[in-house]
Chain A
Amino acid sequence: MTAVAESPAVGEVTALTVTLKILRTNPEGTADHAAGESYWEEFQVEAHATDRVLDALHKVKWDQDGSLSFRRSCAHGVCGSDAMRINGRNRLACKTLLKDLNPARPITVEPIKGLPVEKDLIVDMEPFFASYREIMPFLMTTGAAPTRERLQSPEDRARFDDTTKCIMCAACTSSCPVFWTDGQYFGPQAIVGAHRFIFDSRDEGQWDRLEILNDKAGVWKCRTAFNCTEACPRGIEVTKAISEVKRALTSGEV
């Protein structure tokens, strides 16, 4: 008896050869490329249609070129490590199946944009997390803590459910054209992070956060391009969340 299955169990899976065209950067240089120079490199891998792009990247790293560098952990779309630009769109490599791309053409893989590239598909995430920290992403309350839980109706809980799903992969922020060009803008993820608390009925810090978001680096930079909503691998309606924050600011009501 064996538990080992080579491929997903449903139906028969098509085997195929795919070409990955990866934008690479080596901070220490290679024999052919200067330190920090970006260049395209193509790899061919044997794969199944139901494989994830992450599986294909692993095949390159494990069988062809051990120096290919990328972050990954959970491999099923919940840890947020492997956001990258695949065929020109921000996605998680572990949540994108080859069959959902056109495997007849090379699949392009690039680091997410707007954050400094460290090596291959790895970018410096620190500016992204710094923006998140700016918006005070924690419950703020006054008075003595109750002995039992704070009560919250299912309706009040539902109000901010969408933005609690965020895994901080940066797919939204690094898809935003304003973020690419404006070094000051917090970016959509920080606004999502603020929304999660602003619309939580237990929180009393909403006006502190709204004041931060009313700043020149805040929500008014958003040009409603909707890239962020399209990019979100968790299906969060990012643009809608940003609009709700804008409305709270103009109406003075949460």
Chain B
Amino acid sequence: MTHHEYDVVIVGAGGAGMRAALESSQRARTAVLTKLYPTRSHTGAAQGGMAAALANVEDDNAEWHVFDTVKGGDYLVDQDAAEILCHEAIDAVLDLEKMGLPFNRTPEGKVDQRRFGGHTRNHGEAAVRRSCYSADRTGHMILQTLYQQCIKQEVEFFNEYYVLDLILDQDPQAAAEGEDVAVAGVVALELSTGEIHTFRAKAVIFATGGAGKIFKTTSNAHTLTGDGMGIALNAGLPLEDMEFFQFHPTGLAGLGILLSEAARGEGGILRNSEGERFMERYAPTIKDLAPRDMVARAMANEVREGRGAGPHQDYVLLDLTHLEPAHIDEKLPDITEFARTYLGVEPYTEPVPVYPTAHYAMGGIPTTVQGEVLRNNTDTVKGLYAAGECACVSVHGANRLGTNSLLDINVFGRRAGIAAAEYATSVDSAPVLRDDAAARLEGIVTRLLATVGGAGTERVADVRKALQETMDRNVQVFRDAASLEEAAGVIAELKERYQDIAIHDRGRRFNTDLLEAIELGFLLEIAEVVTAGALARQESRGGHYREDFPTRDDEAFMHHTMAYATADGVRLDKKPVVITKYQPMERKY
């Protein structure tokens, strides 16, 4: 076992983690711990762009962006946070450009912008060109640029270190309201050796990304297993609004691989088996560029009403055939290649089969606008921060707008990095790590490894598959009490089976069998919280649609969900929504 001490430890090296690292490492001694090499992070899979009201190509302003974000989130957005997001967006894009990000350019040489779902001119009049982009690989460019800047600043990375535990100086659920609870550090497993490392730190930032692998059909990477969220939950911290999961309308049918909304921003049209542009019926004003929750529901509805395409009538079609091939090559080269590679479809001449795919967790570890993690509705944990998809500020509310996540990681990654470093330099030392900090984790690893050739009979892959199938079947675009109760029952049963999990790799070095077993533990925890929140929220709002409660109910449910893991299961609480300017209205497009 090796012990380390830093001012700031950042967990995760995607966009949010590296943006935080660029700030933190200038101000305090910083280490970045990451399960993957930084350039493997899923930020790199983001495609369509990053929203900012630069007004480079047409009239736009940050206030319109705030309104769109609030309305897009079905009024569950904390409006003070959305104001920060949209007003700081402009500098966030300009900062990236100055770091060298190769944005597409206008003829005058400025950063080019294009249309995206839910982003409108003057409070919903028409679609506006707000997305700053680099072909359909904007996330790749952001990830590369931030990594390059980290190299320039000599940021210290611990690559392939899998953080498994968060150490606080006391149990945050036992502490009284108003009492100080502080972070002490983290414990990590070095994947290449199997060695346990403890990191004592004055400040810790979680930037661990999403949890899409609770579903079977997902745009998310294999490695997006909700680790950070699960660790926070196990440490006694709440998760906020986990029932709100975004299903991206255009996943490659059957595979879930993401095809950017930019395809529709550039003129692509969704059609059903009859060739009808069905979005005209669901969102007459902005049609195919309605927010993702509405488009995904419309697609699923077309399929279940018998207007799906294909031999099993189980998908709809994304039609790009009216676009010039040269335009497609210039603006959408990667996604059209995905269609060719994985489905054998030529988008120049054939429509592409698509179906909604689990894409993004609107919820996560609750934070303030400075990235400070909340342990209840009002108290923050001293020195603990979160940013990016694993966090919930909440700027996305019940449904995130496309291009607002690349924005989120830059704005709130930066804020968390500054705040953590300033906090770390303001305190003399971190709390002492408890003596049993490493022993506890060693216990977890030893217990799992002890199942090698032992009594464990359950395969990781079987339990995970059962989980993902029940989530796809019961907790996807359409939900109701019966489907959610079924999912809850299956998850409870799978948690039992997980106690009997078997690890077949006997070694310590690069034991990815062990890694997958640990990840599965987090997936089960997250799925349980998602399902519990969805059952309790007896209304339909944004990405959460209850067929048995098909309308939004502001009287009973205009609040955030706060979920805590307790010995008796998930405990749910409420947190008020911050409303500054925009009173909830009916959401039409």
A and B: bona fide binding partners: yes
Contact partner of B222 (CB less than 8 A), chosen from A4, A72, A118, A160, is A72
Is residue B509 contacting chain A, with contact meaning CB distance below 8 A? yes
- Which residues of chain B come closer than 8 Å to A150, judged between CB atoms? 97-98
Report the Cα distance A8→B110, complex, angstroms: 40
Q: Report B481 CB to chain A, min CB distance, Å.
A: 16
Contacts of B300 in A (CB 8 A): 1, 3
A119-144 residues at the B interface, CB under 8 angstroms: 119, 122, 125, 129, 132-133, 136-139
Q: Is B338 in contact with A151, judged by CB distance below 8 angstroms?
A: no
Asked whether A118 and B192 contact (CB < 8 A) given A66-B504, A78-B334, A152-B105, the answer is yes
For window 105-154 of chain B, which residues contact chain A by CB distance below 8 Å? Answer: 105-111, 134, 137, 140-141, 144, 148-149, 151-152
A61-78 near B? 1/0 per residue, CB < 8 Å:
111011101111111111
Stretch at the interface among B36-44, B198-206, B400-408, B421-429: B36-44
Nearest residue in A to B255 (C-beta to C-beta)?
A8
Residue among A11, A61, A67 with max Cβ neighbours from chain B (10 Å): A67
Within the complex, the shortest CB–CB distance from A90 to chain B, in Å, comes to 17
Q: Which residue from B110, B254, B473 sits with its C-beta under 8 Å from A151?
A: B110
Q: Check: A97 CB closer than 8 A to any chain B CB.
A: yes
Q: Determine the chain A residues whose CB is within 8 A of the CB of B134 once the complex forms.
A: 164
Distance between Cα atoms of A197 and B152 in the complex (Å): 14
Task: Evaluate contact between A138 and B100: CB separation under 8 angstroms.
Answer: yes
* CA–CA, A10 and B343, complex, Å: 7
Q: Are the C-beta atoms of A10 and B341 separated by less than 8 Å?
A: no
Q: Given A10-B343, A139-B99, A151-B108: A5 and B140 within 8 A (CB)?
A: no
Assess whether A149 is in contact with B110, with CB atoms less than 8 Å apart. Answer: yes
Q: Are A73 and B100 in contact (CB under 8 A)?
A: no
| Pairwise interchain contact A154-B105, C-beta atoms closer than 8 A | yes
Q: How far is the CB of A134 from chain B (nearest CB, A)?
A: 10
Set A73, A167, A197: member contacting B36, Cβ < 8 A: A73
Q: Which residue of A lies closest to B154 (CB)?
A: A133
Which of B40, B104, B312, B513 is the one whose CB lies under 8 Å from A79? B40
Complex Cα gap A62–B464 (Å): 10
Interface bits B56-93 vs A (CB < 8 Å: 1, else 0): 00000000000000000000000000000000000001
A71 partner residues in chain B, CB cutoff 8 A: 40
Q: Are B512 and A69 in contact (CB under 8 A)?
A: yes
Q: Are A80 and B507 in contact (CB under 8 A)?
A: no
**Contact of B98 with A67 in the complex, beta carbons under 8 Å:** no
Chain B residues whose C-beta falls within 8 Å of the C-beta of A250 in the assembled complex: none
Contact B355 A73 (CB under 8 A): no
Contact indicator A79/B344 (Cβ below 8 Å): no
**Nearest chain-B residue to A151 (Cβ)?**
B109
Whether A8 touches B108, Cβ cut-off 8 Å, given contacts A2-B473, A69-B512, A137-B151, is no
Q: Give the interface centre of B223, B355, B508 by most chain A CB atoms within 10 Å.
A: B223
| Cβ-defined contact, B39 with A161, below 8 A | no
Please, which residue of chain A has its CB at the minimum distance from the CB of B510? A119
State how many angstroms separate the Cβ of A80 from the closest Cβ of chain B.
6
| B42 x A73 contact (CB < 8 A) | yes
B105 touches A8 (CB 8 A): no
* Cβ-defined partner of A157 (8 Å) among B104, B314, B513: B104
**Hey, which chain B residues are within 8 Å of A79, CB to CB?**
36, 39-42, 44-45, 221
B508's contact among A28, A146, A200, by CB below 8 Å, is which?
A28
Binary contact track A162-173/B, C-beta < 8 Å → 1, others 0: 001111100000
Q: Which A residues are CB-close (under 8 A) to B108?
A: 151
The answer to whether B461 and A73 touch across the interface, beta carbons within 8 angstroms, is no
Which of A8, A67, A138 is the one whose CB lies under 8 Å from B151? A138
Report how far A98 CA is from B37 CA in the complex, Å.
27
Measured CA separation A129–B157 after assembly (Å) = 12
- Residue pair B100, A164 in contact (C-beta under 8 Å): no
**A122 to B105, Cβ gap below 8 A?**
no
- Which B residues between 477 and 527 are near A, CB-CB below 8 angstroms? 477-478, 503-513
Taken residue by residue from 1 to 21, chain A's Cβ proximity to chain B (1 for < 8 Å, 0 otherwise) reads as 111111111111000000000
A200-B304 contact given A4-B216, A66-B504, CB 8 Å threshold: no
Asked whether any CB of chain B lies closer than 8 Å to the CB of A104, the reply is no
A202 to B99, CA, bound (A): 10
- Which residues of chain B are near A177, meaning CB under 8 Å? none
A16 to chain B minimum Cβ distance, whole angstroms, is 16
Main secondary structure of the interface of A (DSSP, over half): loop
Indicate whether B303 reaches chain A with its CB closer than 8 angstroms. Answer: yes
* Contacts known (A62-B461, A73-B42); A164 close to B507, Cβ less than 8 A: no
| A139 cross-chain contacts in B, Cβ below 8 A | 98-100, 148
Q: Report if A148 contacts B (CB, 8 A).
A: yes
Cα distance A153–B103 when bound, in Å? 11
Is B450 among interface residues, defined by CB-CB distance under 8 A? Answer: no
Q: Does B178 interact with chain A (Cβ within 8 Å)?
A: no
How close is A141's CB to chain B, nearest CB, in angstroms?
Answer: 8
On whether the beta carbons of B140 and A167 are closer than 8 Å, the reply is yes
Closest Cβ of chain B: how far from A119's Cβ, in Å?
4
Name the B residues within 8 Å of A12 (CB-CB): 311
Q: Are A69 and B254 in contact (CB under 8 A)?
A: no
Residues of B within 8 A of A7 (CB): 254
Contact A119 B343 (CB under 8 A): no
Q: A125 to chain B: closest CB distance in Å?
A: 7
- A4, B510: Cβ atoms closer than 8 Å: no
Q: Is A81 an interface residue (CB 8 A)?
A: yes
B37 and A125 contact, CB distance less than 8 A:
yes
Interchain CA distance A247-B565 in the complex, whole Å: 62
Q: Tell whether, in the assembled complex, residue A9 and residue B507 are in contact, meaning their CB atoms are under 8 Å apart.
A: no
With beta carbons under 8 angstroms apart, the residue of B36, B94, B217 that contacts A149 is B94
**Nearest chain A residue, comparing its CB with the CB of B108:** A151
Q: Are B507 and A8 in contact (CB under 8 A)?
A: no
Complex: how many Å from CA A72 to CA B102?
27
Q: How far does the alpha carbon of A6 sit from the alpha carbon of B314 in the complex, in Å?
A: 12
> Hey, which chain B residues are within 8 Å of A3, CB to CB?
217, 300, 355-356, 472-473, 476-477
Given that A1-B478, A145-B98 are known contacts, is A78 also in contact with B254, CB under 8 Å in the complex? no
43-57 of chain B: CB within 8 A of chain A: 44-45
Q: Check B254 against A9 for contact (C-beta < 8 Å).
A: yes
> Is A89 among interface residues, defined by CB-CB distance under 8 A?
no
Question: Nearest Cβ in chain B — how far from A100, in angstroms?
Answer: 9
Of A67, A78, A80, which contacts B506 at CB under 8 A?
Answer: A67
Task: Check if A106 is an interface residue, CB within 8 A of chain B.
Answer: no
Q: Tell whether, in the assembled complex, residue A122 and residue B460 are in contact, meaning their CB atoms are under 8 Å apart.
A: no
Residues of B within 8 A of A69 (CB): 505, 510-512
The docked-state distance in angstroms from the alpha carbon of A162 to that of B28 is 37
Please report the C-alpha to C-alpha distance between residue A72 and residue B512 in the assembled complex, in whole angstroms.
11
Question: A137, B109: Cβ atoms under 8 Å?
Answer: no
10 A-B pairs besides A3-B355, A10-B353, A69-B505 with CB distance below 8 A are A4-B216, A5-B355, A73-B40, A73-B223, A76-B257, A79-B45, A97-B342, A154-B104, A154-B107, A154-B109
- On A, residues with C-beta under 8 Å from B are 1-12, 26-28, 50, 61-63, 65-67, 69-81, 95, 97, 118-119, 122, 125, 129, 132-133, 136-139, 145-146, 148-154, 157, 160-161, 164-168, 197, 200, 202-203
Some 8 contacts from A to B, beta carbons below 8 A apart, are A66-B513, A67-B505, A69-B510, A74-B42, A139-B99, A149-B97, A149-B103, A157-B105
Closest 10 CB pairs of A and B: A139-B100, A66-B504, A62-B461, A151-B109, A9-B253, A5-B254, A67-B505, A66-B513, A138-B152, A138-B148
